Chains A and B, each alone.
Chain A
Amino acid sequence: MDSQTVAARHQDEIAHHEGEHPYYLRHHFETVEQQKEAVSFGMWLFLLTEIMFFGGLFMAYLLYRNWYYDAFVSASNTLGIGLGTTNTAVLIVSSFTMAMGVYCSEMRNRRGLMLSLAATILLGLVFLGIKTIEYHDKYTEHHIPGANFSIEDFVHPADKRDTALAPDMAQHAQIFFFLYFAMTGMHALHMVIGISILFGLLYQASKGAYTNGHTSIIDNFGLYWHFVDIVWIFLFPLLYLISRHPLH
């Protein structure tokens, strides 16, 4: 390292100590404002790519629901509406706790932030737990497409009030379940990534990293978490709610 670099670094340290710019300002940005705006813009763009990513699955769902309407209706009715609604509520509350976290970060409330993040993690884990139960139910009911799948429930429905499907249409229920697992699975993967990041954020928050004016990380993670929530808000009606038989 030559003398010029040493000099430049020394200048930096002085600037830091004198509070000329906060420690979290990266050197390729001129101002904190610029950094905040850039990071926020980047996160919105990333969420746009995620919309396009899920979009392919929604496209496939649209097509096959149109083609195999009856199978989709019957298959959708085998999903537990109670568990699904609970999950929706859990996620909405977790979005609330996340928003509280953002508020706490801006208010420089370290304990509040930690509590909010922890609550979000907890709710996220509850969501994943309920999802696991649902997946397990599908396994025991032989609704997993592929080797495990059985058309019995659709050709001879247990509840006499459900419409029986012809065998060829019943086979198409597999496509519904494939899309169900693919879409909720992809969503769950995003939840797992989000929760993992939350653990990291919780740790950093405990050290006061986000309650000293540096709010943009919590802000932008909040955006991500809300996006994951919104994806579920679309998935839930499409997979669970539309064409639901009246509760009996």
Chain B
Amino acid sequence: MHFFSPVLWQFLVKWLTEFALFPPEASAIAPYMDAFYFFLLLISLVGLVLVGLMVAGFSIMFRKEKNPQATHIEGSTLLEATWTIIPLALFMVCFVWGALLYFRIYNPPTNAMNIYIVGKQWMWKAEHPGGQHEINALHIPVDRDVQLTMISQDVFHSFSIPAFRVKREVIPGRYSTVWFRATQPGTYHLFCTQYCGTLHSAMIGEIVAMSPDDYRKWTVGSTSGQSLAQNGERLYASLGCNSCHSGTAGARGPNLAGIYGSKVTLEGGRTVTADDEFLRGSILNPTTHAMAGYAPIMPTYQGQVSEEGLIDLVEYIKGLDTNDRVHQTLNDSNFSPSQAGATGAAPNYRSRQLTGADQMPDAKPDTSTSKGMGPSPQ
């Protein structure tokens, strides 16, 4: 055949050997998803064959030549009941199975490792808590529960990993989460599956699942030197959060140490859990998140902090157990709230903890003094 046309032959060979028919099963949930899929395929096949046999069978058995006179049959309540109840029952099985699977995928386990994803036209940014930043790629360890907390900077996107059988919309304005547990090391497709404009089809990337050792090596090698929480700590001080949220008695703002995950009472009596969404929302829309017992005087930071900055702050507050370091930044600085608010510039203070006295928020961090800062909060 190859003397026919070398090009055509190459094409054929390539096609026949390189095409895919089924995605790899690379996560813990994938086999469950596939099992459900095969069940659905099975009942569809049965249904289709049944209808096909009825249509083909009856039209051959009762074609005009064989049956010149049609027999009027009004109906049969029994048959109606049968073919109502049996499909309904099968669909209910699908409903229950599907619901269980859904709740499994969208309810992350409590000790999952959290990675932040920011989607924007037309790229994915992954932010590991240890400060590793990736573009259009995500390195993860296998056999570890990984939760993704995602947000969009502009329009709707959707984070999809077919090999893991997970997907979630990435929405502007609030966090969405999904979790998975990779089981097979390898490189898998990452797609944006919600149409988002010109380069929607280019908003793709790689999910790299690695053995725990390889992952450890990777984290060490790719860190920017600052964990997200460390960045958050700097932002917290430079934006002046520490002046109201100092944790001292009589402070203007509520104490944020240990607030993550706790129940808070809002102005108006409602009680909510202070999760990621709440923390982010409080920074952008403080008036709608005003806590009971505090005057609603917190200014909004909409437009002043990027999504990455918000992630840093949220990550910082999540790990905030005590206000010791907050006090320290207040104590040995000639810092006043009006400075940060008015100019947005980092105040001029000496701090033993923070790196670089004149770093701007979100600036490229200085990697020199990252030692002695302690492990990044998880």
Contact = CB atoms under 8 A, between A and B. Distances in A.
Interface of B: 284-288, 296-300, 302
Interface of chain B, main secondary structure: loop
Interface string A57-74: 000000000011010000
A68 B287 CA distance: 9
- 5 shortest interchain CB distances as A-B pairs: A168-B300, A169-B287, A166-B287, A168-B287, A168-B285
Interface string A147-191: 000000000000000000111110000000000000000000000
A166 B300 CA distance: 8
A215 to B, nearest CB: 46
Contacts of B288: 67-68, 169
B302 to A, nearest CB: 6
Contacts of B287: 70, 165-166, 168-169
Contacts of B298: 166
Contacts of B299: 166-168
A169 B299 CA distance: 10
Interface residue range, chain A: under 10
B336 to A, nearest CB: 21
B106 to A, nearest CB: 23
A166 B284 contact: no
Contacts of A169: 285, 287-288
Contacts of B302: 168
In this complex, which of A68, A165, A168, A169 has the most chain B Cβ atoms within 10 angstroms of its Cβ? A168
B96 to A, nearest CB: 31
A168 B297 CA distance: 11
A167 B285 CA distance: 10
A21 B297 CA distance: 76
Interface in A61-94: 67-68, 70
Contacts of A168: 284-287, 299-300, 302
A71 to B, nearest CB: 9
17 contacts: A70-B287, A165-B287, A166-B286, A166-B287, A166-B296, A166-B297, A166-B298, A166-B299, A167-B300, A168-B285, A168-B286, A168-B287, A168-B299, A168-B302, A169-B285, A169-B287, A169-B288
A175 to B, nearest CB: 13
B14 to A, nearest CB: 52
